[in-house]
Each structure stands twice: as structure tokens, then as C-alpha cells.
């Protein structure tokens, strides 16, 4: 793999900036919180509400999806009771992704911390939507904002991988492939394809895993950061291209 990453800089200044922005995020979260006026539903009630905002899609027969939703419900329920707003949670996911970039660029064990925050940002991706469903705050604006935040964090994850050592051209190529996959899914839905939630080998969890590996290994083995980060992103590029092919075939069948 070719050279990548950014030059070293003072990690103390990075941590100081992150702490200041963290304080601002906490303040916004506390000030904007709103105590729910209705009881937070149990898992069965959550599945019903989730289905209602996903065009009636029934998640119960799909074991993996049902298990994921159960996990998200378990995490989101206390957050919903605390009154945290979905849009604020979306902002937290973006903040975490920005923190990952800064820590990846700092290198060393800071990059390892960045990898952990990257995973937290990825998990938090489903938290805002779950809280919106649980509190009855799901809206078209929230859907658009969440989708926009997903694309921003996708890009930031790849920037973090580049900062950790992955070649810039490889990060850009992967970003283009990710953008094409998500664009195809969105346009297919607009064209009338139903349930364009086809699960491919290049979905968001794979992006989180591959980029977290890239950043984390660069922190553990800095001498091999360029090679390890580069190959991690290369694997993600291959998975994304395969996923794009999968989705293309599925959409073609839907729109015949």
C-alpha cells in the first residue's frame, strides 16, 4: 500500500479541544432534554411502532434483525426515559466521528481510543431512530437528518482511516463506492422499489468494523500503520463493490 496519514501533532491540544467540545455537547443535551409525556413501550410495542415507520415491514420473522432491534430497544429505553432528543443523539454520533478523526491523527494509543469511539458512533447510529420511535418523535425531518448524518459519519470514518495511515486514493475510492451504494438504494425507493432494505455484504456495520480495525491496528502497531490501515480499507472497498453489485441485481428485479 502507498503512504497515507497526516503528520504528527500535539495530542494534548487535541484532547483539550475534544474536552471543550464535549462539555458543549453535554450542556446542549441537558438543556434540550424533554421528559416523555407517555409511557415508553416494551419490546412488542416498539416492534409495532418500528413497523409503522418502515412501511409496515415485519421484523419478527427475521432473527438477525429482530435480535438487533431487541438490543437497540434495551439500550434506547433508558435514554428515551431520560428525555434525550433524537436530533441531539444524531449530533452525538457526528461528534464521536469527528473525535475519531482527531484521535486517529494523533496516533499511538490515542488512535486505539479513537477506534473504540468509532464503534460507539456506529452503535449510536441506531439509537436516535429507536428513541424517536419509542417517544413518538419519529418524523420525516428526523429521517432526512439521520440519513445525512450517516453519510457524514461514513466519510469521517474513512478520513480517520486515512489519518491512521491508509492511502488517500483508497479512502476516496471507498467513499465513492459507499456513496454509490447508498444513492442507488435511495433512488430505487423513489422509483417505486418496495423494501429496498436488502442486506448486502457492504452495509454500515462492515464500514464500522473495517475502519475501526484500520484505526485500532495503526494505534497498536504504528510501525505498520500504513500497511494495516491500507489493507483494512481495501477489504472494505471490496465488500462495498460486492454489495453494490448485490443491490443492483436486487433493484433490477424489483423494477422490472
What is the CATH number for 70?
A: 1.20.120.1760
**2: in domain:** no
Per-residue pLDDT 10s for the chain (256 aa) are 444 566 556 667 777 888 899 999 999 999 999 988 889 999 999 999 888 887 777 778 777 778 878 888 998 999 999 999 999 999 999 999 999 999 998 888 889 999 999 999 888 778 998 999 999 888 888 889 988 999 999 999 999 999 999 999 999 999 999 999 999 988 887 777 765 567 789 998 899 999 999 999 999 998 898 999 999 999 999 999 999 999 999 888 888 7
Does 145 map to a domain?
yes
> From CA 146, how far away is CA 129, in angstroms rounded?
8
User: Considering the domain boundaries, does residue 127 fall inside one?
Assistant: yes
Report yes or no on 3 lying in a domain: no
Domain membership of residue 5 (yes or no) is: no
How does DSSP assign 168-186, residue by residue?
HHHHHHHHHHHHHHHHHHH
Residue 129: all three cell numbers together: 431512530
Number of domains in the chain: 1
- With respect to residue 29, please indicate whether it lies within any of the assigned structural domains: yes
Integer Cα distance of 177 and 244 in angstroms: 8
Domain that holds residue 22: 11-254
| Domain presence at residue 172 | yes
Degrees (nearest 5) of the Cα angle 132, 134, 138? 30
Amino acid at each position: 500500500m502507498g503512504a497515507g496519514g497526516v503528520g504528527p501533532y500535539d495530542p494534548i491540544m487535541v484532547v483539550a479541544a475534544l474536552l471543550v467540545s464535549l462539555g458543549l455537547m453535554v450542556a446542549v443535551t441537558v438543556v434540550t432534554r424533554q421528559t416523555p409525556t407517555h409511557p415508553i413501550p416494551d419490546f412488542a410495542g416498539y416492534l409495532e411502532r418500528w413497523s409503522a415507520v418502515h412501511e409496515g415491514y415485519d421484523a419478527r420473522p427475521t432473527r438477525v434483525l429482530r435480535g438487533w432491534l431487541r438490543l437497540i430497544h434495551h439500550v434506547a429505553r433508558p435514554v428515551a426515559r431520560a428525555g434525550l432528543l433524537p436530533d441531539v443523539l444524531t449530533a452525538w454520533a457526528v461528534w464521536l466521528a469527528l473525535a475519531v478523526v482527531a484521535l486517529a491523527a494523533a496516533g499511538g494509543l490515542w488512535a486505539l481510543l479513537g477506534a473504540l469511539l468509532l464503534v460507539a458512533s456506529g452503535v449510536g447510529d441506531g439509537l436516535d431512530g429507536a428513541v424517536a420511535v419509542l417517544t413518538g418523535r419519529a418524523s420525516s425531518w428526523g429521517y432526512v437528518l439521520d440519513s445525512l448524518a450517516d453519510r457524514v459519519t461514513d466519510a469521517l470514518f474513512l478520513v480517520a482511516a486515512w489519518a491512521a495511515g491508509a492511502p488517500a486514493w483508497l479512502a476516496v475510492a471507498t467513499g465513492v463506492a459507499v456513496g454509490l451504494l447508498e444513492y442507488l438504494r435511495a433512488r430505487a425507493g423513489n422509483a417505486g422499489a418496495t423494501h429496498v432494505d436488502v442486506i448486502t455484504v457492504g452495509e454500515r456495520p462492515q464500514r464500522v468494523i473495517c475502519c475501526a480495525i484500520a484505526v485500532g491496528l495503526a494505534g497498536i502497531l504504528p510501525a505498520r500503520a500504513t500497511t494495516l490501515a491500507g489493507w483494512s480499507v481495501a477489504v472494505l472497498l471490496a465488500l462495498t463493490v460486492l454489495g453494490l453489485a448485490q443491490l443492483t441485481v436486487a433493484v433490477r428485479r424489483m423494477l422490472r
